[in-house]
Amino acid sequence: MGYKRIRKIRSIPTNGAGMDIKDYRRLFSTEEDAINYYLKIRYKGVITCPHCENTVNIYRYKNLQKQFHCYKCKSPFSPLHDTIFWRSHVEIRDWFFVIMSFLNDIRGVSAKNIQRDLGVSYPTAFRMLHKIREAMSNEEMKKTFQGIVEVDETYVGGKPRKYNNKEGKPIFNNKRGRGTNKVPIVGVRNRDTGEVYTQVMLPNKEGRKLSSHQLLDVINKKTVEKATVITDEFKAYSILTTKGFVHLTVNHSKGQYSAGDGTHTNGIENFWGVFKRGWIGTYSHMSIKYLQRYSNEFCFRYNFRLHKCMFDVLLGRTVIENPELIKSSLIEAA
C-alpha cells in the first residue's frame, strides 16, 4: 500500500460556539478537511507517533485518511486512537455536525433529532451523543474552586401527581423538594469564574442521599480549604462552620433570597433553570444510569457559554487521557 507525505495543515479560522451550517460547509467540505482540522487540534500541527514519539518521517496511507505509518518504528497508527471517534464507522464530518448542533442549542439535542438529521440508526445517534458527553466531562473533575462558592441542590424526577385518599382529600405523590423520592443533584458554582460543577447523589449503604458528610465530601472535593460557602438554610450544611469554612446562608423558607450584601444563591439557581429547561423541553426523561453525563453536558455548555472557540475546546477534550475519570456514568455518594 502506498504512502503520501503529509501536507502542511493550514490554520482554519473558526468562530467557535457560534458556528452555523454555512461555516460548517465552508470549513468541512470534505472528510479530509475534517480529519486535517482534527489533527491540528490534537497534535498542534506536529503528528506524533504514539509508539516511539517520533515526529519526523511519518506518512499517511494514500487510500486511508485515518491511518498513518511511522518509518522509525515501522508501526502504523491512527490519530483517532484513544478518542471518542475511535472504531466509529461514522465520518468525522458527521461527528462535527453533531457537535456543532449540540453546542448551539443551550437545551441540548435529542438522539431522535440526530437520527433524523444524519440518517443513522437511533442506537448510533444515542451512542454519539453520550460519547460527546464523556468528552465534556473529561477534565471537569480535576478543577478546584477558590473564593466564594454557591452550593444548592435540585431534584430530578416526575412532576408531583395529585390523588385523592379514601376520605376524598387531595394528596400528592412524589412531592417536590426535600423529602421527595426523586434523585438529588448537588451543584457548586464558583462566583469568581462562573463555573459550575454538579454531582448526582446516589443512596449510600444506609440509603441516605443528602447527609451532612455527603455534602461535605462534595464541597471538599471541589473547593480549597477555608473557602466562603453560601447555601440556603438546609440543616445539613451546618457542618461547614465546624470544618473551617466561612458559611453564609439565606433563608428561602422565609422568602429571603438575598441578604443585600451579596449573600445569595441566585447564580446556581440560574443554572438549575437552564438545566431543567433542557430536561423538560428536550430530553423529557433522564435515566438514573446516565444522569451524571447529562448534568456534565449542561455544566460544560454553561461554563464555556462565553468562550470564543467552544467547538475547539470540546475537540481538544475528545482525547480520553484518563478513562477512569468517566468510566462510570454515575458517582456514588460517599
CATH number at residue 198: 3.30.420.10
Final residue belonging to a domain, choices 38, 65, 81: 81
Final residue belonging to a domain, choices 60, 81, 102: 81
Residue 8 lies in domain? 1-81
Contact between 186 and 196 under an 8 Å Cβ cutoff? The reply is: no
Q: Is 256 exposed, middle or buried (0-12, 13-18, 19+ CB in 10 A)?
A: middle
76 and 154 part of one domain: no
53 and 151 part of one domain: no
Q: How many independent structural domains does the chain possess?
A: 2
Contacts 24+ apart (CB under 8 A), 217-225: 217/333, 217/334, 218/151, 218/186, 218/188, 219/149, 219/151, 219/188, 219/245, 221/144, 222/143, 222/144, 222/145, 222/149, 222/188, 222/197, 223/144, 223/145, 223/146, 223/149, 223/188, 224/144, 224/145, 224/146
Distance CA 333, CA 275 (A): 21
Q: What is the pLDDT of residue 4?
A: 52
In a domain, 132, yes or no: no
Q: What is the pLDDT of residue 190?
A: 94
165 and 38 part of one domain: no
Q: What is the pLDDT of residue 125?
A: 96
76 and 147 part of one domain: no
Q: What is the pLDDT of residue 300?
A: 93
Final residue belonging to a domain, choices 63, 81, 99: 81
In a domain, 91, yes or no: no
In a domain, 32, yes or no: yes
Would you give the distance in Å from CA 247 to the centre of its chain? 28
- Strand 246-249 versus strand 228-231 pairing type: parallel
In a domain, 281, yes or no: yes
Model confidence, pTM: 0.81
Task: Bin 291: left if φ > 0, else alpha if -120 < ψ < 50, else beta.
Answer: alpha
- Regions of the chain where pLDDT drops below 50: 1, 6-16, 323-334
Q: What is the pLDDT of residue 323?
A: 46
77 and 177 part of one domain: no
73 and 187 part of one domain: no
72 and 157 part of one domain: no
177 and 248 part of one domain: yes
In a domain, 179, yes or no: yes
Contacts 24+ apart (CB under 8 A), 110-118: 110/282, 110/283, 118/90, 118/94
In a domain, 320, yes or no: no
Q: What is the pLDDT of residue 210?
A: 84
38 and 164 part of one domain: no
In a domain, 300, yes or no: no
In a domain, 273, yes or no: yes
153 and 75 part of one domain: no
